[in-house]
Structure 1
Amino acid sequence: MGKKTGFMDYTREEEQKRHPLSRLDDWKEYSQRFSEDTLKIQGARCMDCGTPFCHMGLELNGLTSGCPINNLIPEWNDLVYKGRWKEALDRLLLTNNFPEFTGRVCPAPCEGSCTVAISEPAVAIKGIERAIIDKGFEEGWIKPRIPERRTGKKVAIVGSGPAGLACADQLNQAGHSITVYERDDRPGGLLMYGIPNMKLEKDVVDRRIQLLEEEGIEFVTNTEVGKDVAAEQLQEVYDAVVLCTGAQKHRDLNIEGRELKGVHDAMDYLTGTTKSLLNSGFEDSDYIDTEGKHVIVIGGGDTGADCVATALRQKCKSVVQFGKHPQLPDHRTENNPWPQYPLVFTLDYAYEEAAAKYGKDIREYCIQTKKIVGDEQGRVKELHTIRMEKTIDASGKAVFHELPGTEKVWPVDYVFIAIGFEGAEHPVLEAFGVETKNNKIHAPYGTYTTSVEGVFAAGDARRGQSLIVWAIHEGREAAREVDRYLMGSTVLP
């Protein structure tokens, strides 16, 4: 490494963020890049650790540790420290098709398994990654890579999220002719409509889609496979089909009052807001507007946080987020050792904003929703809860007990359900007749082959709801197996 004592000489710095209150006035990204001088210092903190756990990409104790796409992190950290940006970009692109996405929205399991993080704050890997790719675009180093030859083979990819895009990119570079089908009006899947603008501005997604089109990939939007075009038709026209439809079947909350007006799935809220923003700057009013309303978000994950941030920008009167589990500890516990992903308390962007506006953390922990109550017009007016106590039984299983006397009634105008996803939506799977298991496409990891000849599956549709880096990983790997299926051998990594 360029500076072997860098991890001792320098401290970690976080990416600059716009002030929480000022950013509530717009829908722009909340984070900003490091300066180049700061990046050099942060790159120098990457130690010569011998075994870089940061890019091992394993699941430990059910959580991702290290980078699933095996980014060569120490190499490009060192190159940034030395100011060799173009070489750093080349190293980054060897393993990651879309660093502009992961550098913005990945939860950075690489940092959790960074060797420096054993005793000090981790190397700022995610911020460095974003800076490398952004500089690559700014300097004009990112150019269309037109394949030199075409194989004559055609592949259809169903779904244009990160798995579908990664698969399309790899197969296109192998010389196959690729068509990506997307049921929404814009390509990008969850990158376009599942992640709000303040985390990932959509011109970043559009820029990548345009580049892929220039490289020869065709995108067909507003087309739902199994409805607008038959599965059999794709199988007749294309030599292979890859299902990358994601895991968009919402996990529902089956309680009294679920059917009331004002109770919505979180993704419906987020998607509608982003579509209206992009289509008309909210002039069409075709979205759920929480201005001046009391909002409750049920579910303590990232989707719930995005709902909080969205409601704040809409100038809601109040917002509360309910979580089932206790607040995480400030430091790793004994049963969460390095290099596992650190289960520690953090203040995400949405909660920073809420705390700045209301003067407190708006999250409620260990709380159970008992019922939702409406008014005479069938519209939600209040939500009833009770506190819970979490214990671990003899088998290691978490058990929740209600605490009598902790009942509470909350006034509310909108309830957003963000308790996760059950798996892939079934219509497209039924159209192809692929075997499913636990609401996911049954396609073994490593081969990605479904029960139907010539039909493959990758990403959340196959593995269930997961991280963007796992989607890219599976899209790349599935592309390799499709290439092998079409050609008898493969040129892809």
Structure 2
Amino acid sequence: MGKPTGFLEYVRSTNPMRPEEERVKDWDEVYVLRDEQTCQEQGARCMDCGVPFCHRGELMQGGASGCPINNLIPEWNDLIYRNRWREALDRLHHTNNFPEVTGRVCPAPCEAGCVLGINEPSVTIHDNERTIIDKGFENGWVVPEPPEVRTDKKVAVVGSGPAGLSCAQQLNRAGHNVTLFERSDRIGGLMMYGIPNMKLDKGVMQRRIDIIEKEGVVYKTSTEVGKDISAAELKNEFDAVILTTGATKPRDLPVEGRGLKGVYFAMEFLHANTKSLLDSNLEDGKFISAKDKKVIVIGGGDTGTDCVGTSLRHRCESVAQLEIMPKPETDRNRVSNPWPQWPANLKTDYGQQEAIALQGTDPRTFSVMTTKFEGNEAGELAAIHTVEVEWVDNGNGGKMPKAVEGTEKRTEADLVLLAMGFLGPEDPVAEQLGVERDARSNYKAEHEVYTTNVDGVFAAGDSRRGQSLVVWAINEGRGCAREVDKYLMGDTVLP
């Protein structure tokens, strides 16, 4: 694939990032595209590897390896190299409803499975994907594709994140009449309000949302199922109901002082910020501001990074990030963490890079646990109390954190953001429909089947599998659409 000797001739070159000091002054995307010649050279690095692992998505040792939506990566890498961009776009759209999203925010498990990555830097699959779709929009190749024939079947999709949107688009392409319900005022779920604008520009998201609407999907925004309309009404009105509500129940930190003013869930912070940015360019003041505050983010994942980057753009006084897990190794351990497993080495994302540039040090502290929030007489957050931990055997084959005596610390803080992950979907819809839950409180439905215990009700995405990646949500949305089409028609034409 690509140029037979390309991987020997060209070194890996990713999309460049704007300078930290420049990008923290605005909400524009942090990455910019490479020039076209560099893009073609990067496509040429794709090897004729015989058995490509990049597009075979699976879980290995708890992490994803390869693309969960089975993108035809070697094919469109070859087409990039040969300057056949329109054909590359067609191959990309064959498996992916939102390449402009995955090409920006996906952590690229495809690159973890790249055969070249065994002993050289892997192919820039993630950036190649974004280049193809951005070029497609730039040239007007991405247009609505409404179905030629309509069925008489009506389908309700609850939740407009990546699983819901991809499921809705696929079912609409099969000719069904699809209505998508979203409780927020805009379509997109976490892609709209959970991921900040500097990582995924909302104009990029909105143009795809508009295309899906022009294809025939009906949007019902500001409509919360279970509240504004009962789940029972939905089941009576539609031939099938699909639950793609996401895992929106945040993990809390029930320590002393949790109720103080100044302690918030990360999504309260990020959602309000993006909504205010879109509504008024932050002029309406309807968001939690980090300006001139000492900010502490608890949680070391992507959401925590987004909180760091958002706080810096607010002009916070300082920002720190606490993580209870041990610090990963700087370099990949090829004995305990070999290819093609997801590389579990330390990664420094855009938010940490910005904090290092502005504050001089990495904002992260590892192996530390919060024990208490301290407030002032007005009930406002004043400080956070922490202790270092070591991970010891819990007697059941796992590990548990143990406080290290003498490492207690008090740190002044004005704003704490809890970014510790999510515990599953919220309750009302499942309760009203009588949908069973699994041991982790997710909607109980088998992967690749998606049927719940209630006839005609399906579940997909994070609400079924738990908090996961955008690509797994797209995988489940597309897969669920196939199963719903079979349920409605006895067979399916969907890929």
Q: TM (normalized to structure 1)?
A: 0.99
1:473 equivalent in alignment to 2:475: yes
Structure-1 separation of matches of 2:459 and 2:396 = 35
Deviation at 1:401, TM superposition (A): 2.3
Contact kept in structure 1, 2:2 and 2:46, CA below 8 Å: no
Q: How many percent identity over aligned positions? A: 56
2:2·2:45 contact (CA, 8 Å) conserved in 1? Answer: no
Change in CA separation of 1:374 and 1:394 when aligned onto 2, cut-off 3 Å: closer
**Which residue among 468, 485, 490 is the counterpart of 1:483?**
485
Q: How far 1:2 sits from its partner (Å)? A: 3.5
For the 8 Å contact 2:157–2:178, the answer to whether it is kept is: yes
Counterpart for residue 119 of structure 2: 119
Contact in 1 for aligned 2:2/2:43 (Cα 8 Å): no
Residue matched to 2:44: 44
Q: What is the CA-CA distance between 1:400 and the residue it aligns to?
A: 2.3
Q: CA deviation at 1:445?
A: 1.1
Q: 2 CA distance for matches of 1:264 and 1:482?
A: 38
1:210-254, Cα deviation, whole Å (9 max, x unpaired): 101110111000000011011121112111010000000011001
Superposition pairs of residues 419-434 of structure 1, within 5 angstroms: 419-434=420-435
Is the aligned partner of 1:68 residue 2:64? no
Deviations 1:170-228 (A, max 9, x none): 00000001100000000000000010000001011110111011101110000000110
Tell me the C-alpha RMSD between the 2 structures. Answer: 1.0
Cα distance in 2, alignment partners of residues 185 and 381 from structure 1: 34
Alpha-carbon distance, 1:267 to partner = 0.5
> For the residues of structure 2 that align with 1:400 and 1:265, how far apart are their CA atoms?
23
Alignment of 1:78-477 (within 5 A): 78-333=78-333, 334-391=335-392, 396-437=397-438, 438-477=440-479
**Alpha-carbon distance, 1:4 to partner:** 1.1
Question: Could you tell me whether the CA contact under 8 Å between 2:2 and 2:77 is conserved in 1?
Answer: no
Structure 2 distance, partners of 1:428, 1:163, is: 17
* Corresponding pairs, count: 493
* C-alpha distance in 1 between matches for 2:236 and 2:408: 59
Closer/same/farther in 2, CA of residues 230 and 395 from structure 1, 3 Å limit: closer
Aligned CA distance change for structure 1 residues 14 and 2 (closer, same or farther; 3 Å): closer
Deviation (angstroms), 1:398 = 2.2
2: CA distance, partners of 1:284 / 1:35: 38
The amino acid of 1:209's aligned partner reads: I
**Inter-partner Cα distance in structure 1 for 2:193 and 2:127:** 23
> What is the CA–CA distance in structure 2 between the aligned matches of 1:399 and 1:453, rounded to whole Å?
41
Deviates more, 1:136-145 or 1:393-402: 393-402
Aligned AA for 1:332? R
Q: Deviations over 1:390-433 (max 9, x none)?
A: 34678652232222121110000001111110101111211221
Amino acid at match of 2:460: A
2:16 aligns with 16
Report the Cα distance in structure 1 between the residues aligned to 2:56 and 2:148, rounded to whole angstroms: 33
Q: Distance in 2 between matches of 1:401 and 1:436?
A: 32
Shift of 1:257: 0.5
Give distance in 2, aligned partners of 1:250 and 1:395.
26
> What is the alpha-carbon distance in structure 2 between the residues aligned to residue 330 and residue 409 of structure 1?
28
Tell me the secondary structure at the aligned position of residue 330 of structure 1.
coil
434-443 or 324-333, larger mean C-alpha shift: 324-333
Q: Which moved more, 1:399-408 or 1:421-430?
A: 399-408
State whether residues 2 and 48 of structure 2, in contact with CA within 8 Å, keep that contact through their aligned partners in structure 1: no
One-letter identity of the residue aligned with 2:300 = G
Q: 1:258 to 1:32 in 2, by over 3 A?
A: same
SS in 1 for 2:24: helix
Change (3 A) 1:226 1:395: closer
| Alignment partners' CA distance in 2, 1:463 and 1:2 | 36
Alpha-carbon deviations, 1:32-56, whole Å to 9, x = none?
1111100011001111111110011
Q: What amino acid sits opposite 2:453 in the alignment?
A: S
Amino acid at match of 1:489: D
State how far apart, in whole Å, the 2-side matches of 1:127 and 1:391 are. Answer: 40
Structure 2 gap segments, 5+ residues each: none
Q: CA deviation at 1:304?
A: 0.7
Whole-angstrom distance in 1 between the partners of 2:108 and 2:447: 23
Q: Aligned AA for 1:487?
A: M
| CA deviation string 1:444-484 (max 9, x = no partner) | 11110011110100000000000000000000000000000
- Between the aligned partners of 2:433 and 2:280, the Cα distance in structure 1 is 36
Alignment-mate amino acid for residue 321 of structure 1: Q
Instruction: Supply the distance in 1 between the matched residues of 2:19 and 2:332 (Cα, whole angstroms).
Output: 29
Task: Name whichever of 54-63 and 2-11 sits farther off.
Answer: 2-11
Q: Could you tell me how far apart the structure 1 residues matched to 2:339 and 2:396 are? A: 24
Corresponding letter in the other structure for 1:186: R
Please tell me the residue identity of whatever aligns with 2:458.
F
Mapped partners of 1:445, 1:50: distance in 2: 29
**Letter aligned with residue 51 of structure 1:** V
Letter in structure 2 aligned against 1:335: S
AA paired with 1:22? E
Mapped to 1, the partners of 2:360 and 2:2 lie a distance apart of 44
Could you tell me how far apart the structure 2 residues matched to 1:192 and 1:139 are? 24
Alignment-mate amino acid for residue 145 of structure 1: E
| Alpha-carbon distance between aligned partners in 2 of 1:5 and 1:331, rounded to the nearest angstrom | 27
| Deviation digits for residues 94-134 of structure 1 (CA, Å, limit 9, x no counterpart) | 10011000000000000011111111111000000000011
What letter matches 2:340 in structure 1? P
Contact 2:2 2:47 in 1 (8 A): no
C-alpha distance in 1 between matches for 2:2 and 2:253: 53
Seen in structure 2, the aligned counterparts of structure 1 residues 402 and 229 have a Cα distance that, compared at 3 Å, is same
The DSSP-based 3-state class of the residue aligned with 2:331 is coil
Does the C-alpha gap of structure 1 residues 44 and 404 become closer, same or farther in structure 2, counting only changes over 3 Å?
same
C-alpha distance in structure 2 between counterparts of 1:290 and 1:165, whole Å: 32
1:442 deviation in Å?
0.4
Q: Which amino acid aligns with 1:375?
A: N
Report SS of the residue matched to 1:55.
coil
Q: How far apart in 1 are the matches of 2:404 and 2:194?
A: 35
Q: What SS class does the counterpart of residue 336 from structure 2 fall into?
A: coil
2:224 & 2:146 partners in 1: Cα distance? 28
